Amino acid sequence: MSPTPREYNKMSEKAAPNSKLWKNVGMAFLVGGLICTIGQGILSWTQWLGLSQEEGGAVTSIALIFLSALLTGLNRYDDLAKHAGAGTLVPITGFANSMVSPALEFKREGLILGVGAKMFSIAGPVILYGISASVLYGLIIALFH
């Protein structure tokens, strides 16, 4: 009399508590927006210093990545992310955290196969498919324009 996998899947979906969607979305909006606002602060400052748009953008990224790496090293980024969810995942700080956290975590496995290899375990696919998409785009414009 045991249920079929399909019936059981329904049972288990019913038994699972719902995540608090609106609270989570609100937190993601707030924290994500705030990180972007900090980014805007740095960007505006670089423009005030007279840097070009491109240079300013690079400095902004570097500064945010530095802050993310620092908070990750101090074991604070994950505490923030627990509440912020996508708010700390989607900004460039989340990308930095995805590289810094495995590097730190797998330190015990050595500098080569630990830090070196594991650093890309989460961010690797992001870089790979981002670059691949850009190459595809480049081919299209090079061949058809």
Partner 1 sequence: MEWVITFGKAFLVGGLLCAIGQIFIDKTKLTPARILVGYVVMGVLLSALGVYGPLVSFAGAGATVPLTGFGHLLATGVQKAVAERGLLGALTGGLTAAAAGITAAMIFGLLTALLFTPGDKS
Partner 2 sequence: MAVKTGNYTYLLENTPSVLSFGAVGSKKESEGPLGQYFDVINPDSTFGENSWEKAESKMVQISVEKALSKGHFEPEQIDMAFAGDLLNQCIGSVYGLRDLGIPFVGLYGACSTMAESLALAALFVDTAIAKRALAVTSSHFCSAERQFRFPLEYGGQRPPTSQWTVTGSGACVVGESDTAPYVRAVTIGCIEDLGIKDANNMGAAMAPAAAKTIARYLADTRTRPEDYDLILTGDLGQVGSALLEQLLEQEKIHLQGRHQDCGLLIYDRQQQDVHAGGSGCGCAASVLCSFILPKIRKGTLGDVLFVATGALMSPTSSMQGESIPGVAHLVHLSSSRRRKGVE
Chain positions 63 to 122 lying near partner 2, rule: CB under 8 A, are 72-73, 75, 77-78, 80-82, 84-85, 88-89, 94, 97-98, 100-102, 104-106, 108, 118, 122
Among the listed residues 92, 63, 127, the one whose alpha carbon sits nearest the alpha carbon of residue 119: 127
> Closest distance between partner 1 and the C-beta of residue 93, in Å?
8
Backbone angles phi, psi at 20, to 5 degrees: -80, 85
Pick between residue 11 and residue 139 the one whose CB is nearest to partner 1: 139
Q: Decide: is 3 part of the binding site for partner 1 (CB under 8 A).
A: no
Pick between residue 116 and residue 138 the one whose CB is nearest to partner 2: 116
Tokens of 14: 């019913």
Pick between residue 45 and residue 61 the one whose CB is nearest to partner 2: 61
CA 138 – CA 67 distance, rounded (Å):
32
For residues 19 to 48, the per-residue mask of contacts with partner 1, x marking binding by CB under 8 A and - elsewhere, is x-x--xxxxxxxxxxxxxx-xxxxxx----
Tokens of 43: 């960007």
Sign of torsion, CA 11 16 20 25? negative
